[in-house]
Structure 1
Amino acid sequence: MEQFIVILREPDGRADEHAEQDMKEHREKWNNWFVKYAKEGNLVGGNALSLYGKMIKGHNAEVIDDIHKVGTEIVGGYLLLQANNLDKAVEIARELPVYEFDGYAEVRPFKIYN
């Protein structure tokens, strides 16, 4: 089995308004996804990311009090999967609920360098 990182990108949800029932159903879908793929042994780890942080940029390693954004898009979290190949990891990631609120996922092989 190989490992893959899934980077979850989505609109900054602080500005969005969703009905409470929609949010409840969305959280349930996430929970069901986590339970299913943890049981199947494909979910290795992952987490949501805070909306607060600092960036370090440029030749002088300047510290900026903000997170990386493109417009209102943020990196909302990551998952670490294991699967037989990239196509299988993509198949698993296609079931993520992130797409319901205009998010998207990027799946990349996770390489460990020694």
Structure 2
Amino acid sequence: MKKFIALFREPDGRTEQHTEDAIKKHRQNWAAWMERWQQQISGGSGLTLDGRILKDPQAGATPGIYKNGTEIVGGFLMITATDLDAAAAMMQSCPIFEFGGYVEIRELQQQ
């Protein structure tokens, strides 16, 4: 088995409003999806909106997080799969797509 990181990219949640019912259903879908794939998930987390950006070590850190328009990295998972295609197939049923997000899957370098 190989190790991968799934980076969840999504619209900044502060820019789009969703009903409480939609958010509740979305969370339930995430819980069910995570349970389905628990054997292949070895870690991960959602990310806060508090961060620092360092582009020039001499200039120091600036408050904030990297955004591309309103898109942010909202979280990540560490997963195992036989290959990149299998990892992508696992992600096809992921709830990230429900609110306009998407996932980038990358294999970890072997050490």
TM-score, structure 1 length as denominator?
0.92
Distance 1:111 1:29 in 2: 31
State the superposition RMSD in angstroms: 1.2
Moved over 4 A (4+): none
What are structure 1's unaligned runs of at least 5 residues?
none
What is the aligned partner in structure 2 of residue 90 from structure 1?
A: 88
Once the two structures are superposed, residues 61-114 of structure 1 have per-residue CA deviations (whole angstroms, 9 ceiling, x without a partner) of 53110111111110000011101111000001111101111101000101243x
User: How does 1:71-90 map onto structure 2 within 5 Å?
Assistant: 71-90=69-88
Q: Across the two proteins, how many residue pairs are aligned to each other?
A: 111
Taking every aligned residue pair, what percent have the same amino acid on both sides?
Answer: 40
TM-score (norm 2): 0.94
Shift of 1:58: 2.1
C-alpha distance after superposition, 1:31-51 (max 9, x if no partner): 00111111xx21111100011
Could you say which residue in structure 2 is the equivalent of 1:9?
9
Structure 2 residue runs without a partner (length 5+)? none
